[in-house]
Amino acid sequence: MTKDKGEEDLFAKWFAIPLWQRVIAALVLGIITGRLWGPDAESIKIIGDVFIAFIKMLVVPLIFFSLVSGVAAIGDLRKLGAVGGRAMLLFVVTGQIAVWLGLLLGTLIQPGIGVDTAGLDLGPTPAPNETTWREMILGIVPQSPVQVMADVNVLPLIVFSLLVGIGILLAKREEDKENPEAPGATRGAVAAVAGAFDAGAVIFQKITMVIMELTPFGVFALIAWVVGTLGLDAVAALGKLVALNYAGCLLIIAIMYVAILLLSRVSVIGFFRGMIDAIAVAYSTASSSATLPVTLRCTQRNLGVSRPTSSFIVSLGSTINMDGTAMYLGLATLFGAQIFGVDLSWGDYGMIALLATVGSIGAAGIPGGGLVVDKTLSQSMVMGLLLHMMPDARVVWMRRQPEDIALSSYRAFFTSSVTWSWSMTDIAHQMRLEDRLYRHWAELFPEQILTVPYEDLVQSPEEWIARIFGHVGLELEPQVFEFHKNRRKVRTASVKQVRSAISTDAIGKSDRFAEQLAPFREAYQA
């Protein structure tokens, strides 16, 4: 009996501590544990992975139900347009301010100047992969709501949720015209559907409140793992950039947000006191999606914002209004330009500001949303610089029988910048250069570069795919062996291969074209 009472008192004391204080304490303990435990801290990373998995589980239903419920509860399309219009204007303006702030800091401090590139053969600046405005617009339209939800593709999900909410509003208006005397709760199927979404929003907000109680444990495990495995030297090469990014975020909060609060006649101290839980969770998880549940709770409980308005604006803003991301994209672009010695005009600055704002809208609001995978053909020319700047990056270097590569390159429809693929002789010269670069970088970075023989990969795919996943630090999932069954759009020249299972059919394919490949062999072996 005494034991049960003691346990109850312990739990009561734990939950009596504000969430943000528990999160900060977990953050500090995680840093200490990581420093003391070292790489062995990876053993508790599973706790953080479970927490993040719970968060990802809630993102789709929470956004969907919250947005639909919020739009439907507004009650009037004109009011929706007014509220949504002001919100979008605020999002765009603050995003632009954030980008230009990042560009200003980058221009004044110049973090890219002084990065040691001695001994690196930078080669020509790689040609960018261009995405047209048509493709960007099409990417926002949810072609399949089910697929959008399965892929956690937030922007199309928001569009679909807004349309469902607008549909409920329109149906409500028609129902009101047909039964003007009936009480709102008894007007039929539309009211029932709207009520179901309201109930769903409440239910998932309650679930998220439960999940948020796991935040201290998840934060502790993830921070301990990061500090223990990477240490403080992981960002040494990017020290200035990281410092500027933090400084910019603090300026956004201290100047822009405070100015908005003063103009809105909202107490600055009262606002930050009411949002402290959301701020702590946002900092510790680095995820706007993870912060969404606690942000909704803070705005409704602590700031007195109505549930319809907060559900609509907060859910929309958690994806669209990413000022920190917008600032970082502008700052990082300027950082790269300074490293490569590229002079930027005012027109370039304007284009960077525009693209950074658009890019921040499409950024994923989950940890790892900034994970980048690049397979640009000319990456080998700047491999040393990339690995110097990103010491934790991992490279998978595919090697294949030369004649097969030559045939494949000659038959592929590359962009107009890949002119070396138009001639067998030029292909040979390019491949000789690639061979030299491969030997050079593989010798300098043996731990970061994994060499994968193509022929071995297709003959023993399970073995080699497991090695690749282990090398890049990703968890192996069964569906990777059935990648060809994925129906998502393919935008590269490899569309045929992506839709086909792994096979050995391409090995020795060049044997039938021995005569045509004679110029290649002569130039390659010279």
Residue 328 and residue 418 share a domain = no
CB 232 within 8 A of CB 298: no
pLDDT of residue 384: 74
Residue ranges of alpha helices (H) inside 401-450 are 402-411, 424-444
Strands 395-399 and 449-453: parallel
What does the pLDDT look like over 67-101, one tens digit per residue? 787 777 776 677 777 777 788 888 888 888 888 88
**In this structure, is residue 238 part of a structural domain?**
yes
- The 3-state DSSP class for residue 112 equals coil
pLDDT of residue 327: 83
What does the pLDDT look like over 20-45, one tens digit per residue? 678 788 888 888 888 888 778 888 88
The DSSP output letter for 493 is: T
Residue 386 and residue 290 share a domain = no
Count of the separate structural domains present in the chain: 2
Span 156-181, average pLDDT = 77
Residues 6+ apart with CB under 8 A from 420: 426, 427, 429, 430
CATH code assigned at 448: 3.40.50.300
- What span, in angstroms and rounded, lies between the C-alpha atoms of 471 and 392? 11
Which among 326, 361, 396 is the end of a domain?
361
HSE-CB at 256 with a 13 A cutoff on CA atoms is: 20
CB 26 within 8 A of CB 219: yes
Burial of 365 (0-12, 13-18, 19+ CB in 10 A): buried
Residue 187 and residue 274 share a domain = yes
User: Domain range spanning residue 151?
Assistant: 18-114+141-361
Provide the residue type at 50 as one letter.
V
Which among 337, 361, 385 is the end of a domain?
361
DSSP 195-208: HHHHHHHHHHHHHH
Residue 162 and residue 23 share a domain = yes
Percent of the chain with pLDDT over 90: 1
Band of residue 236 on the pLDDT scale cut at 50, 70, 90: very low
Q: Indicate whether this model's pTM tops 0.85.
A: no
Band of residue 243 on the pLDDT scale cut at 50, 70, 90: confident
**In this structure, is residue 311 part of a structural domain?**
yes
- What span, in angstroms and rounded, lies between the C-alpha atoms of 47 and 131? 38
Task: Give, to the nearest 10 degrees, the angle between helix 45-74 and helix 77-109.
Answer: 140
Residues 6+ apart with CB under 8 A from 266: none
Angle at 234 between CA 382 and CA 38, to 5 degrees: 140
**In this structure, is residue 393 part of a structural domain?**
yes
In Å, what is the CA distance from 399 to each residue of 63, 110, 338, 402, 486? 44, 38, 33, 9, 26
Nearest to 108 by CA among 324, 331, 328, 257: 331
Percent of the chain with pLDDT over 70: 74
**In this structure, is residue 366 part of a structural domain?**
no
